[in-house]
Structure 1
């Protein structure tokens, strides 16, 4: 099986820059002109822009709201999780604001709501997919959810994110009406599907089965660098008639790329099987009530 090739760190930052530019273009060309509140801090920024139109000419720009909300969240996250937290995500958040400025001059692509949902969702999804593939996020509700989950461990990050995004989309319904809220939900669905496609169809989690002659070293690196547990399963090769240990590790969709790179760096001949996991209950994922 061919594993993902290792990238130099600066390439991840270039990918983040391209991804945030696509996301910003999707917002400025489609979502903002059509008042589509798709959740997240950018969705909240669209609401704030509308509400402040009578106070500030044109309303408060998205890039300003993005920074004002996200920077305190990052400072709080660093205080809670340590100084090493979220370096790339901080870069992605700041560069998203920069991208929102230089893509702000792009023309409005369409006044058709359906076309705006489809093409805006594709652009936003492609941008987010690139950002996620570089082991980063753009902050926002996923960062807020991570902070909240630190104090409410009985609720998963995914559940908190869903609640926060639902509140923002609901607020959009009261500001812009039910029709635009329904179109916004369609745009969110398209964005999510494109993100999955960008990440090779990755869903909530991935289960990796690894067969290698360097199992101890691979398991040690996965546990150290991804902070995920690894289980050794007893296996027997029917062709070779040899007993072999099979490593099993369940990771999030953003971590599977890194897991494959770790395995490749240690053993290029390792046999790796990656499977979709629809739901994971336990430590590090959905916690038991």
Structure 2
């Protein structure tokens, strides 16, 4: 356990804690201001916690808050994460889940509107922004993320269909408990949440960069000092207009790393020609940060 804490620097701890606070606030406002008043079910573990809370109230006549249901639901998954994924990842995810559950309890339910469409839209936007922000800063909201990451590490396969099945079950439960129109409203919210997550979470978007430069060594040194990316070199290229010898460098980065690329190019060769192609597909190894 001591080795785990040694890996976490003081600044890393402070940064991750601030990111966790932002996610917890956004998720709690989405739930208490929009999802609950509009009878909308969220995606992932929060949606399951809503179902559990509703069943306890309607069937067992026991008042189990969504916050407590979310926290208890994640406990066995923390064990999975600790043993099979990453202790560092599990620690920070536990902090995030704990703060989210606390904020859900402390922030009162505020009925701004009961219109299910408005609630679905704004709840989805806030949830998607929170999830994307968490992913962007190497955090997780817990729940299904543990299972998805474990299966991906175990099988090496794309397990995106698992989220579709899981959220489909949530919508089915919403239809049974509140009526089928609310299942459709929940589907709308989950769709919006996913789209907003994609906009915010830029680490998953790959970009191909072509650099034409007369200072290849300076450019490669500057970029590799900042980025853990391979660079392919094409020597003895020639400009059709100037007839001067150039070197062409190819690399692939994420959209999240674009500001770092600009900084590196500004330092090494601000006269280089840089061409960028977005949303490229990658076959083979592409380094991604450890959790």
Match of 1:189 in 2: 191
Q: How does 1:125-144 map to 2 (within 5 A)?
A: 125-144=128-147
Is the 1:172–1:181 contact (alpha carbons within 8 Å) kept by the matching residues of 2?
Answer: yes
Find the residue that maps to 2:154 and give its secondary structure.
Answer: coil
Match of 1:106 in 2: 109
Match of 1:29 in 2: 33
CA distance in 2, matches of 1:240, 1:173: 68
CA distance in 1, matches of 2:90, 2:261: 24
CA distance in 2, matches of 1:240, 1:125: 50
Deviation by residue 1:145-174 (Cα, 9 ceiling, x = unmatched): 111223332x31423333322333333333
CA distance in 1, matches of 2:238, 2:79: 51
Of 192, 213, 220, the residue aligned with 1:215 is 220
- 1:31 Cα offset (Å): 1.0
Match of 2:244 in 1: 241
Of 164, 167, 170, the residue aligned with 2:169 is 167
Which one has a bigger Cα radius of gyration?
A: 2
Consecutive unaligned residues in structure 1, runs of 5 or more: 1-7, 224-228
Residues 284, 263 of structure 1: alpha-carbon distance in 2 compared, 3 angstrom cutoff: closer
Is the 2:89–2:139 contact (alpha carbons within 8 Å) kept by the matching residues of 1?
Answer: no
Equivalent residue pairs, number: 263
Is the 1:141–1:165 contact (alpha carbons within 8 Å) kept by the matching residues of 2?
Answer: no
TM-score (norm 1): 0.75
CA distance in 2, matches of 1:268, 1:78: 42
Match of 2:42 in 1: 38
CA distance in 2, matches of 1:77, 1:273: 40
Task: Compare the two structures and name the one with the higher helix fraction.
Answer: 2
Is the 2:226–2:264 contact (alpha carbons within 8 Å) kept by the matching residues of 1?
Answer: no
CA distance in 1, matches of 2:184, 2:266: 48
TM-score (norm 2): 0.74
CA distance in 2, matches of 1:161, 1:206: 22
CA distance in 1, matches of 2:171, 2:280: 25
Is the 2:49–2:73 contact (alpha carbons within 8 Å) kept by the matching residues of 1?
Answer: no
- 1:112 Cα offset (Å): 0.9
Consecutive unaligned residues in structure 2, runs of 5 or more: 1-10
Find the residue that maps to 1:234 and give its secondary structure.
Answer: strand
Find the residue that maps to 1:52 and give its secondary structure.
Answer: helix
Match of 1:66 in 2: 70
